[in-house]
């Protein structure tokens, strides 16, 4: 803790030889451990004597029980704890983050630790074709802090129209004007943002990466040549380009555990239980009265006086609801789960399909450093260890398929030359052939990567249960690029063509930017750079960018909604769902900040209701 106080305030040189050796040992030992990672298919470490137990241990009674300590759950718990009359229980399956997860530049490796649930999709037919078994990885955080412990830390809220459309679906309370004050409340901004759109006193710091790569400067300049402005994408307008806004403090990861729960631990009315696995919400007479969970190998029950709030995330929340009897009737009856409420839980999975197959060569030479030098830079709050996947630049655009003014349906991410990451192949679950075709000959001294993110996909997937065993992992099918009209793949193709047009700009010519040829075995008979070639290539290496939403969507019940505008589950009293799963559709942004906003907003709603 003293080390990080020194790093944050920069009052003295923040490290010595012992500190460097500590981080060298930590990094090397953790990376070595990840080599033995086995992909899980169930939560066996929690099962214990679940099916042998007749009696459950009594864990007491609370005003609020919150299931999951991720983006929303941690925020909500911390804010509710500010009212001393509330007694709160926060239950989390994972453990505390550590000094390794604090290093953003090594987040790929965190996916091969206990901090990731390790989910995968079912085999895909239209995308992820270059992945092993055609299965897309679905990393989700299993930690106090949830996915904010392993995510990419990009602070992108979404577009004004996203929230206004969401608001119209439920007839009130989620418009952009109503949620903007919460986004500002969250932030401690240190970027050149538009006046009136950012906060300065919130728990979540926002910074640019330091230093910025000349390749990113060229990307920004090239777009300006083509008429796009460099702007604050969380400000008045979104379509344009920018340096990325990142949630870190002097290069160190900031999770919701750090931002919200650590300060809230001073409140005696908040009890945080980690390494505890919730199996179901307890419901009687269509009223939630507690939760059942496994703790230290024992079946345990906690009861609630006011409400249960499920904040397990886009995968776990529908999973818990279905095992509690809330879900599609036919699916529950198939596994002999008594039906409490027939709702289309899990049926509205949205994610951002992302094309990872573009790389470019330049005449710029990025300096290479030793591991020790990267560590020293990290402790000084700069360099490759301080940013996830080196995603320094971003852009928002409209394809011909988007007709709403000001609403982007394409995001570009640029990862300039930098530190090599040996975990990238396994992290993306790539076959040897795919990895070799795209990244095998990549030179991280001269080359940079571009990712094309589809923000408004037509393809919709689902999450469902595999059995009536709450320890069996769920079935996840995103159905990427499966829309019958091929709108999704065509939008990605159009975006790819735009990136190629940047090669003609003066800024790119100065760096001698050229496209690196990629040819998959499956695409070898297509004409290079033809539409047929790109369609084939896109399907090989398009997968998710880990922005799933929608599986417990907020909407009117007659339109397939699971929760109403107050986040209350239809047909079940004293039960709410609050996390990214309630977002009715994909945002033109990243869902982490929106999920934190939901926690802030719900805490005010609950205080108003129960403090009156």
Decide if 117 is inside a domain. Answer: no
Angle formed at CA 143 by CA 139 and CA 147, multiple of 5 degrees? 40
Quickly list DSSP for 136-150. -EE--B-BTTGGGGT
Decide if 505 is inside a domain. Answer: yes
CA dist., res. 34 & res. 524, Å (int) = 35
| Together in a domain, 89 and 5 | no
Contact call for residues 550 and 586 (beta carbons, < 8 A): yes
| Together in a domain, 332 and 376 | yes
CA dist., res. 228 & res. 296, Å (int) = 56
| Together in a domain, 27 and 61 | no
- The whole-number average pLDDT for the span 301-318 is 98
| Together in a domain, 357 and 479 | yes
pLDDT in tens, 105-135: 999 999 999 999 999 999 999 999 999 999 9
| Together in a domain, 31 and 160 | no
| Together in a domain, 87 and 5 | no
Decide if 369 is inside a domain. Answer: yes
pLDDT in tens, 186-241: 999 999 999 999 999 999 999 999 999 999 999 999 999 999 999 999 999 999 99
| Together in a domain, 329 and 370 | yes
pLDDT value of residue 253: 98
| Together in a domain, 68 and 26 | no
Task: Report residue 13's pLDDT band, with 50, 70 and 90 as the boundaries.
Answer: low
pLDDT in tens, 542-570: 999 999 999 999 999 999 999 999 999 99
Number of structural domains found in the chain: 2
The torsion angles phi and psi of 271, rounded to 5 degrees, stand at: -110, 120
Give me the domain span that covers residue 386: 55-98+128-610
pLDDT in tens, 417-434: 999 888 999 999 999 999
Decide if 44 is inside a domain. Answer: no
The torsion angles phi and psi of 49, rounded to 5 degrees, stand at: -105, 35
Catalytic residues: 547
Contact call for residues 176 and 166 (beta carbons, < 8 A): no
Q: Is the pTM of the predicted complex or chain greater than 0.75?
A: yes
Decide if 112 is inside a domain. Answer: no
Q: Which stretch of DSSP H or E encloses residue 177? A: helix 176-186
Percent of the chain scoring above 90 in pLDDT: 95
CATH number of the domain enclosing 378: 3.50.50.60
Sign, Cα dihedral of 494, 348, 157, 262? negative
Contact call for residues 147 and 592 (beta carbons, < 8 A): yes
- The whole-number average pLDDT for the span 398-403 is 98
| Together in a domain, 539 and 426 | yes
Angle formed at CA 600 by CA 595 and CA 606, multiple of 5 degrees? 120
pLDDT in tens, 317-336: 999 999 999 999 999 999 99
pLDDT in tens, 565-599: 999 999 999 999 999 999 999 999 999 999 999 99
Quickly list DSSP for 378-431. HHTT-SGGGSGGG--EEEEE--TT--STT---EEEEEE-S----TTHHHHTTB-
Task: To the nearest 10°, report the CA torsion of 381, 385, 389, 391.
Answer: 20
| Together in a domain, 332 and 189 | yes
| Together in a domain, 7 and 62 | no
Decide if 33 is inside a domain. Answer: yes
Contact call for residues 542 and 480 (beta carbons, < 8 A): yes
| Together in a domain, 65 and 34 | no
CA dist., res. 180 & res. 194, Å (int) = 13
Decide if 412 is inside a domain. Answer: yes
Q: Is pLDDT at 4 greater than 50 in this prediction?
A: no
Q: Compute the chain's Rg from CA coordinates.
A: 23
pLDDT value of residue 9: 38
Decide if 555 is inside a domain. Answer: yes
Q: Minimal CA–CA distance to 104: which of 515, 408, 382, 434?
A: 382
143-169 exposure pattern, b = at least 16 Cβ within 10 A, e = fewer: bbbbbbbbbbbbbbbbbbbbbebbbeb
């Amino acid at each position: 803790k003293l080390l990080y106080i020194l790093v944050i305030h920069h009052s003295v040189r923040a490290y010595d030889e012992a500190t460097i050796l500590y981080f060298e040992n930590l990094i090397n030992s953790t990376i070595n451990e990840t080599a033995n990672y086995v992909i899980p298919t169930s939560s066996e470490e929690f099962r214990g004597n679940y099916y042998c137990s007749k009696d459950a241990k009594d864990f007491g009674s609370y005003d609020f029980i919150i299931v999951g300590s991720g983006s929303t759950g941690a925020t909500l718990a911390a804010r509710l704890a500010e009212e001393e009359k509330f007694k709160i229980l926060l239950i989390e399956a994972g453990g505390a983050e550590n000094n390794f997860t604090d290093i953003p530049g090594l987040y790929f490796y965190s996916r091969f630790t206990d901090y990731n649930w390790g989910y995968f999709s079912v085999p895909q037919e239209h995308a992820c074709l270059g992945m092993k078994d055609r299965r897309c990885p679905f990393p989700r955080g299993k930690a106090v802090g949830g996915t904010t412990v392993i995510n990419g830390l990009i602070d992108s809220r979404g577009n004004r129209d996203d929230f206004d459309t969401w608001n119209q679906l439920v007839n009130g309370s989620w418009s952009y004007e109503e949620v903007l004050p919460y986004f500002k409340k969250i932030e401690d901004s240190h970027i050149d943002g538009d006046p009136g759109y950012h906060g300065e006193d919130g728990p979540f710091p926002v910074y640019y990466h330091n230093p910025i790569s000349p390749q990113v400067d060229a990307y920004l300049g090239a777009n300006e040549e083509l008429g796009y402005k460099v702007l604050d994408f969380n400000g008045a307008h979104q379509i344009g380009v920018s340096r990325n806004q990142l949630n870190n403090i002097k290069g160190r990861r900031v999770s919701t555990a750090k931002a919200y729960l650590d300060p809230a631990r001073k409140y005696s009315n908040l009890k945080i239980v980690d390494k505890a696995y919730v199996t179901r919400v307890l419901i009687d007479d269509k009223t939630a009265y507690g939760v059942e969970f496994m703790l230290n190998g024992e079946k345990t029950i906690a009861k609630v006086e006011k409400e249960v709030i499920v904040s397990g995330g886009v995968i776990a929340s529908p999973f818990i609801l279905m095992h509690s009897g809330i879900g599609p009737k036919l699916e529950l009856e198939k596994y002999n789960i008594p039906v409490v409420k027939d709702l289309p839980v899990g049926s509205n999975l949205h994610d951002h399909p992302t094309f990872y197959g573009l790389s470019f060569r330049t005449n710029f030479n990025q300096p290479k450093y030793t591991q020790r030098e990267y560590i020293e830079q990290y402790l000084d709050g700069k360099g490759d260890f301080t940013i996830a996947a080196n995603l320094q630049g971003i852009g928002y655009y409209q394809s011909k398929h988007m007709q709403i003014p000001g609403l982007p349906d394409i995001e570009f991410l640029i990862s300039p030359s930098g530190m090599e990451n040996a975990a990238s192949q396994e992290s993306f679950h790539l076959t040897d052939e795919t990895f070799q075709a795209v990244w095998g000959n990549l030179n991280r001294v001269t080359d940079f990567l571009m990712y094309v993110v589809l923000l408004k996909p037509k393809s919709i997937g689902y999450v469902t249960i595999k059995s009536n065993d709450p320890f069996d992992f769920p079935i996840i099918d995103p159905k990427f690029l499966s829309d019958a009209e091929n709108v999704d793949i065509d939008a990605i193709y159009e975006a790819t063509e735009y990136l190629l047009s940047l090669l003609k700009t003066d800024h790119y010519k100065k760096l001698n930017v050229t496209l690196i040829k990629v040819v998959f075995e499956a695409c070898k008979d297509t004409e290079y750079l033809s539409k047929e070639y790109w369609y084939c290539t896109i399907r090989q290496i398009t997968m998710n960018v880990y922005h799933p939403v929608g599986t417990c969507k907020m909407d009117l019940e007659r339109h397939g909604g699971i929760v109403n505008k107050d986040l209350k589950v239809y047909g079940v009293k004293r039960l709410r769902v609050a996390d990214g799963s309630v977002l009715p559709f994909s945002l033109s942004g990243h869902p982490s900040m929106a999920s934190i906003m939901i926690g802030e907003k719900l805490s005010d709603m609950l205080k108003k209701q129960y403090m009156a």
